[in-house]
Homo-oligomer: A and B are copies of this chain.
């Protein structure tokens, strides 16, 4: 079903709602694999530690309403969420930078389950240009423009060293890439018509270290 039939305005969907939808989906998939028929928002709430009214509100953005005393139908809701989140479609993507993180992403088949299909990688290192990682070819970055033109790939994953991140992003935008998934800790600037998604695993790491340290300090104080 296309968005207009569901009357969903994607641009109006709050980011926190969108971020919670994959959590609900992960739990629903689990219930679905156990052939559970229905689930209530209270049950989801208890399991995921999210307010039940928040869950109902989040799902209402997708025009999904549970039935009183029965809740949501597990299988159809799983399908609708998978579809809405774009995990069922095949999104072709380029990977820029086939170093350690880049190669890891090329080997991680997990992304494919969520609809992301890396069709080619690009690098500037002559030692790896022409080789393959997990059946994905690595091309010279200089070929980006001509290859994008013939393939029409819209998404690029940036996994280059921080200091090259902006330069690479500028080349991607000039080559008509419409969305950049930035894995570097560098804050890339993009024009308004290009989607930028940052994944800051190093910020997450810093958060974890800090909270661990805070717990230790706290224990020393309360001793």
Contact = CB atoms under 8 A, between A and B. Distances in A.
Given A49-B189, A187-B48, A210-B86, A26 B107 contact: no
A215 interface: yes
How many copies, total?
2
Given A19-B203, A108-B104, A26 B215 contact: no
A24 to B, nearest CB: 10
A71 to B, nearest CB: 19
A146 to B, nearest CB: 23
B100 A110 contact: yes
Interface stretch (A7-15, A72-80, A137-145): A7-15
A25 B162 CA distance: 10
A162 B87 CA distance: 16
Contacts of A210: 10, 13, 18, 85-86
B109 A213 contact: no
Given A101-B108, A104-B104, A193-B215, A115 B26 contact: no
Interface of A: 3, 10-11, 13, 15, 18-19, 21-23, 25-27, 29-30, 33, 47-50, 85-87, 89, 91, 99-101, 103-105, 107-111, 114-116, 154-155, 162-163, 178-179, 181, 184-187, 189, 193, 195, 197-215, 217-218
26 contacts: A3-B213, A10-B211, A10-B217, A19-B200, A19-B206, A22-B202, A25-B185, A26-B187, A27-B186, A47-B187, A48-B187, A49-B187, A85-B209, A86-B205, A100-B109, A101-B108, A103-B108, A104-B104, A114-B202, A154-B212, A179-B212, A195-B211, A197-B204, A197-B207, A198-B204, A199-B201
